Chains A and B, each alone.
Chain A
Amino acid sequence: MKPLGWIFMIGTWAIVIFLFIMSIWLISKRKVKYEEDKGKEEDNKEGN
């Protein structure tokens, strides 16, 4: 494969992997907040 082919392949893969890892990393950072909100909602339901 010519160098340009490698650049296209590795470049596209890098973009896709970067976007995927970034979204998963952001989710893992926000996971606690989400679980807390869910817990609060369940508490409210039980209270009602």
Chain B
Amino acid sequence: MNEREHWGTRIGLILAMAGNAIGLGNFLRFPVEAAKHGGGVFMIPYIVSLFLIGIPLMWLEWTIGRYAGIRGHGSPPAFLSLAWKHPIAKYLGAIGLFTPTVIAIYYIYIESWTLAYGFFSLTNSFPAIDHKEVQDINAYLTPFHTFHKSFLGDANGALMYPDRYAYIAFIITLFLNMFILSRGIVKGIERVAKIAMPLLFLFAIVLVIRVFTLKNPANPDVNIITGLKYIWEPDFSKISDPSIWLAAAGQIFFTLSLGTGAIQVYASYLREKDDLALSGFATATSNELAEVILGGSIAIPAAIIFFGVANAQEIAQSGAFRLGFITLPAVFQNLPFGNIFGALWFFLLFFAGITSSLALCQPAISFLEDELKLSRKESSLLLGIIIFFSSHLVIFFKGAIEEMDFWAGTFGLVLFATIETLVFMWIFGGEKVWEELHKGADIKVPRVFFYILKYISPLLLLTILVTWFWKYFSRIGETASWNIFLTRGFLIYLFVFMCAIVGIVWKRREE
């Protein structure tokens, strides 16, 4: 059995795990979801989901990772085949290899926008506007929308022709990711987490203070209270709407990066007697602090203070990208030292992004190292080449990001989490998982979580899966343009290719 690397320090491990969880979604997706789904009342299903899905699954994934890691394996196909001695287990595990790799393919590109926009802010490259009473938000944001479209090369037709800065930022971001990964766990991922995470929290706190002291230049009565009111004032008419509960469960799922395979892979670098229970809990609470308090206090309140509730509602409805890359630059352009605050915003997103993309790449790196016996540098180089070529699909073909995000970033995550929960809690054995979780544990997890993990979490995951299946699968039959079919073809090819490699590796091992 090969000697696997271990985390250097506990704080490094927790920061890296928190870095995996704290991503762009904490600062862009959460406030939009909360605002869209009843404000304060959204927090009821959100907190319930945190305790019924989030924290229990976090513990399960840490346990799976350490269990496999001390047996010399750190890749999702190995996790499942260690727990279930059935030939299909390794192929089900391949979903946990496919999903994070596909997400990394488009996530690194989006992450590169934040890097480029950070430099655009520093160099005052955004369109210049004078603040005035905003009547038509779409007209007001047109220069920023045009700027963003031109950056991405979004023209009519199926193809995109990105700005040279977009391409350069992508190359730099990809190179940075692969360079850090090639340095290994302690010298690469852990060292970056120890620098990026404190900076991320510092930048977020500075931005929260700035937003809390903002006033609308044309109407000083519109201030942070107006913004917080929009996010937090409960609309009780929505509490009985099942879609709110589903949205909250989905948000908890995404924000903790469950089902990506990344938590298990990071946990596979733990020692046999390292604590799982307290470290997993600390990771979840760090993420919640970043999301609920910091994430909920920057983007939406700032947009409301500057553009008013009605306009901000429209912005929130039109998605997280419009909020982060079009609306916020317009807000910062109106502030004294706005270029500095803009840069803090985008570098905050960049740190959140890179600590997550490193984690998303790690399942594939671990597979190449543990199962194909490549060196860390060879694995990083090979994955870098695969991501470089595959990313051209999302850079040049319109709609590819959304298509990949649906299949991998939405459906794939829930599917893999459901499979791993059922395999570990029902086939491998819930009691064995519970015993494994408590080996070296610094806290005793209340027994109620055993029953939650065994009965309630799988049931909720299956409900989410079936509902999404019902709601979204009609889109398969919808008329789509050739670039969407090309993306789907690529995804099928990649999954089949990964299954084939997994099959060959396992066959050789059996021989």
Residue positions of A touching B, CB distance < 8 A: 1-2, 4-6, 8-9, 12-13, 15-17, 19-20, 22-24, 26-27, 30-31, 33-34, 37, 41
B212 to chain A, nearest CB (A): 13
Q: Is the CB of B286 within 8 A of A20?
A: yes
* Range, interface on chain B: 20 to 34
Complex interface: chain A residues within 8 A of B10 (CB): 27, 31, 34
Q: Mark B260-289, 1 if CB is under 8 A from A, else 0.
A: 000000000001011100110110011011
Q: Which residue of B lies closest to A37 (CB)?
A: B273
Asked if residues B293 and A13 are in contact (CB atoms below 8 Å), the reply is: yes
B495 proximal to A (CB < 8 A): no
Partner pick for B442 among A1, A15, A16, A26, CB 8 A cutoff: A26
Closest chain-A Cβ to B125's Cβ sits at a distance in Å of 36
A23 to B283, CA, bound (A): 9
CB<8 Å pairs between A and B, sample of 23: A1-B228, A4-B40, A5-B40, A5-B228, A5-B232, A8-B40, A8-B232, A8-B234, A9-B40, A9-B231, A13-B292, A16-B289, A16-B293, A17-B289, A19-B281, A20-B288, A22-B285, A23-B282, A26-B278, A26-B282, A26-B443, A27-B279, A37-B274
Interface flag for B47 (CB, 8 Å): yes
Query: Within B124-149, which residues are at the interface with A (CB < 8 Å)?
Result: none
- Distance between B314 CB and nearest chain A CB, rounded to angstroms: 21
Q: Which residues between 388 and 406 of chain B lie within 8 Å of chain A, taking CB atoms?
A: none
Q: Chain B contacts of A8 at CB under 8 A?
A: 39-41, 43, 232-234
A-B pairs, top 6 by smallest CB distance, nearest first, are A8-B40, A5-B233, A23-B282, A9-B232, A1-B229, A20-B285
Which residues does chain A contribute within 8 Å of B206, judged by CB atoms? Answer: none
Q: Count how many pairs of residues, one from A and one from B, have CB atoms less than 8 Å apart in the complex.
A: 80
Report whether A41 and B275 are in contact in the complex, using a CB–CB cutoff of 8 Å: no
User: Is B202 interfacial (CB 8 A cutoff)?
Assistant: no
Of A1, A13, A27, A37, the residue contacting B14 (CB under 8 A) is: A27
Quick one: closest A residue to B227, CB to CB?
A: A1
Report whether A1 and B292 are in contact in the complex, using a CB–CB cutoff of 8 Å. no
**Shortest beta-carbon distance, B280 to chain A, in Å?**
10
Q: Which one, A5, A12, A31, contacts B47 given CB within 8 A? A: A12
| Alpha-carbon distance A13/B231, docked complex (angstroms) | 13
**Chain B residues whose CB sits within 8 angstroms of the CB of A15 once the complex forms:** 47
> Which residue of A4, A12, A16 is within 8 Å of B285 (Cβ)?
A16
Q: B3 → chain A, closest Cβ, in Å?
A: 10
Taking CB atoms, residues of chain B closer than 8 Å to A9 are 40, 228, 231-232
List A contacts of B293 (CB < 8 A).
13, 16-17
**Hey, which chain B residues are within 8 Å of A6, CB to CB?**
232
Q: Are B233 and A2 in contact (CB under 8 A)?
A: yes
Restricting to B347-374, which residues have a CB under 8 Å from any CB of A? none
B225 within 8 A of A: yes
Contact residues in A for B233 (Cβ distance below 8 Å): 1-2, 4-5, 8
- Interface residues in B231-265 (C-beta closer than 8 Å to A): 231-234
- In whole Å, how far is A6's beta carbon from the nearest beta carbon of chain B? 8
Contact of B234 among A4, A13, A16, A23 (CB under 8 A): A4
Please measure, in the bound complex, the distance between the C-alpha atom of A27 and the C-alpha atom of B41, giving whole angstroms: 32
Which A residues lie within 8 Å of B275 (CB)? 30, 34
The docked-state distance in angstroms from the alpha carbon of A22 to that of B231 is 26
Q: How far is the CB of B16 from chain A (nearest CB, A)?
A: 15
Q: Which residue in chain A gives the minimum CB-CB distance to B234?
A: A8
Q: Are B289 and A12 in contact (CB under 8 A)?
A: no
| Additional A-B contacts beyond A5-B233, A37-B274 (9; CB < 8 A) | A4-B233, A5-B229, A5-B234, A8-B232, A12-B47, A12-B232, A17-B289, A19-B281, A27-B282
Contact with A along B424-468 (1 / 0, CB 8 A): 000000000000000000110000000000000000000000000
What are the residues of chain B within 8 A of A37 when measuring CB–CB?
271, 273-274
Give the complex CA separation of A1 and B224 in angstroms.
10
- Write out the residue numbers on chain A whose beta carbons fall within 8 Å of the beta carbon of B285: 16, 19-20, 22-23
